[in-house]
Structure 1
Amino acid sequence: MSKVITQDNEQVIQIYNRLKDTLTRLEDILKNNNPTFNGHRYMNDAELANYLKVSRRTLQEYRNNGILSYYQIGGKILYRESDIEELLEKNRQEAFR
């Protein structure tokens, strides 16, 4: 005798939930993905300000004072992620007791 599988079946519910979780993860990846250009990733002002937890005005001060390297195309400012990582590593302070 054949068993009819319905949408109320526990296995069907588990598969549906896994697919739903996978779709949510994929949407997050696509939303947060910055495509590369020549192998480098770039951030805009808002993304970098959020990443560093500083204001966009603070970023402007960093640019004006020569602290941050940046690219300006028209009115758009871009920062190369590898430059930011380098800057952070260069300014890293060791913990001491």
Structure 2
Amino acid sequence: MAHTLLNLDSPEVTRYFQLLEYLSSLLEKDNHEYRPILNGERYLTETELSKLLKVTQRTLIEHRNNGKLPYYKFGGRILYKENDIIQILEKNRMEAFKTD
């Protein structure tokens, strides 16, 4: 049985390093989007929530100041509990009109 010597120029080694680079980039992307859970709850920043709801940060500030949006203030940072936002959306859900 003949043995093949592998080196850095071998197609198998090149492919191996390409796959490692690809997996590394996927993990890096996930790392940026990962939201850790604290006591079973996820918290969103103002920027994240405004992107999700497709509203300006100024609109979030107005809702917060009007008492429509619960929030947490930690240092100078504002956080919103994901489940609070989901409950508000569900509570304000409007049924579609039926046309028969």
Q: Does 1:17 align with 2:18?
A: yes
How much does 1:13 deviate? 2.6
How much does 1:56 deviate? 1.0
| CA displacement 1:5-46 (0-9 Å, x = unmatched) | 223333223222221121111112222222222111111111
How much does 1:94 deviate? 4.9
- Structure 2 length normalisation: TM-score? 0.76
How much does 1:63 deviate? 1.0
How many correspondences in the alignment? Answer: 97
Provide the secondary structure at the position in 2 that maps to 1:77. Answer: strand
Gaps of 5+ in 1: none
Structure number with greater Rg is 2
- Structure 1 length normalisation: TM-score? 0.78
Residue correspondence of structure 1 range 74-85 to structure 2 within 5 A: 74-85=75-86
Provide the secondary structure at the position in 1 that maps to 2:73. Answer: strand
How much does 1:95 deviate? 5.4
Q: Counterpart of 1:7 in structure 2: which amino acid?
A: L
Percent of aligned positions that are identical: 43
